[in-house]
Copies of this chain bind each other. A is one copy, B any other.
Amino acid sequence: MFEKILDLTTQIKQQGPLVLNITNYVTMDFVANGLLSIGASPVMSHEPEEIQDLIAIASVVVINPGTLDENFVHLCEAACKAANQLNKPLILDPVGVGASSYRTAVSKKLISDYQIAIIRGNASEIMALAGLPLTTKGVDSNAGTAHAVASAKALAAQGSTVLISGAVDVVVNAEHEQGFSRGSAMMPMITGTGCLLSAVVAAFHAVQADAFAAASAAALFYSVCGENAAAQSSGPGSFKTKFLDSLYATPEASHYAKN
């Protein structure tokens, strides 16, 4: 798998795929910088009038309703519709689903109405999205992951690949399931690591048509970059700086071999 990842990161640098982000205001800067660091070409938009034009030139579209309001929801729907019509893959990041019933309803409607190639969320978001019974407090992480995998499989039955990210990353589609136990505890200490992962998954999918393979490669690549950054940092500030440097440098083959 390592060689495949090295090949995909090289292709991203060579092709510079245009990733259109319909995304939240909090982490836009980090997402844009992370995409630039791996060699992809980010564009952000909030204007329905230009969505059609931008999707036409984009390789892939990320929908991230992290700071949503009514206009933003209409924008997401217009973008999903256009992306499906133009056969541009959609990546959905259901940020904060479960935290408010509004957020949950918005993301559920998107996956019901449109064809989503890959859904990327943390365990509680995936569980809330699948609507399975949820125990958010006091759940140990193994039980949490097991619950989330069942939820991911329910979502995958509708045709999406699902990436559950966390201490353990799990990728699920209708037939397969793959898990990785990599990354760093520093990753959730900065805002936007989830958002950027969704965007990186999108960039990988732009050069790897198989959604399951793209999500798996992106997740492992991202976690190893996190490990490399954590090894050089002394807190969340320096971690963020080194993480962008690590995305840019891309890990060497040896970094993928677990110590």
Residues of A at the B interface (CB closer than 8 Å) are: 24-30, 32-33, 36-37, 42-50, 53-54, 57, 66-71, 96, 99-103, 188-192, 233-238, 240-249
B33 touches A240 (CB 8 A): yes
User: CB-CB < 8 A to A25: which residues of B?
Assistant: 25, 28, 44, 46
- Nearest-neighbour CB distance to chain B for A44, whole angstroms, equals 5
Nearest-neighbor residue (CB-CB) of A52 within chain B: B100
B43 touches A189 (CB 8 A): no
Known: A100-B53, A241-B238. A29 touches B32 (CB 8 A): no
B249 touches A245 (CB 8 A): no
| Chain A interface, DSSP helix/strand/loop, else mixed | helix
A33 touches B191 (CB 8 A): yes
**When the two chains form the complex, which single residue of B24, B66, B102, B237 contacts A240, counting CB atoms closer than 8 Å?**
B237
Nearest-neighbor residue (CB-CB) of A190 within chain B: B33
A240 to B241, CA, bound (A): 8
A69 to B74, CA, bound (A): 13
User: CB-CB < 8 A to A69: which residues of B?
Assistant: 46-48, 71
- Nearest-neighbour CB distance to chain B for A3, whole angstroms, equals 23
- Nearest-neighbour CB distance to chain B for A192, whole angstroms, equals 7
User: CB-CB < 8 A to A233: which residues of B?
Assistant: 245
- Nearest-neighbour CB distance to chain B for A88, whole angstroms, equals 15
**When the two chains form the complex, which single residue of B48, B191, B237, B238 contacts A42, counting CB atoms closer than 8 Å?**
B191
B102 touches A190 (CB 8 A): no
- Nearest-neighbour CB distance to chain B for A181, whole angstroms, equals 23
Given contacts A29-B29, A236-B244, 20 further A-B contacts (CB under 8 A): A25-B46, A27-B32, A33-B191, A33-B237, A36-B190, A36-B236, A43-B99, A49-B100, A49-B102, A50-B101, A53-B99, A53-B100, A53-B101, A54-B100, A189-B248, A235-B244, A235-B247, A237-B240, A237-B241, A237-B243
A234 touches B238 (CB 8 A): no
A69 to B191, CA, bound (A): 25
A54 to B189, CA, bound (A): 21
B50 touches A236 (CB 8 A): no
Nearest-neighbor residue (CB-CB) of A28 within chain B: B26
8 interchain pairs, CB-CB under 8 A: A29-B30, A32-B192, A37-B237, A43-B99, A57-B99, A189-B248, A235-B244, A237-B244
A245 to B190, CA, bound (A): 11
User: CB-CB < 8 A to A236: which residues of B?
Assistant: 33, 36-37, 244-245, 248
User: CB-CB < 8 A to A243: which residues of B?
Assistant: 237
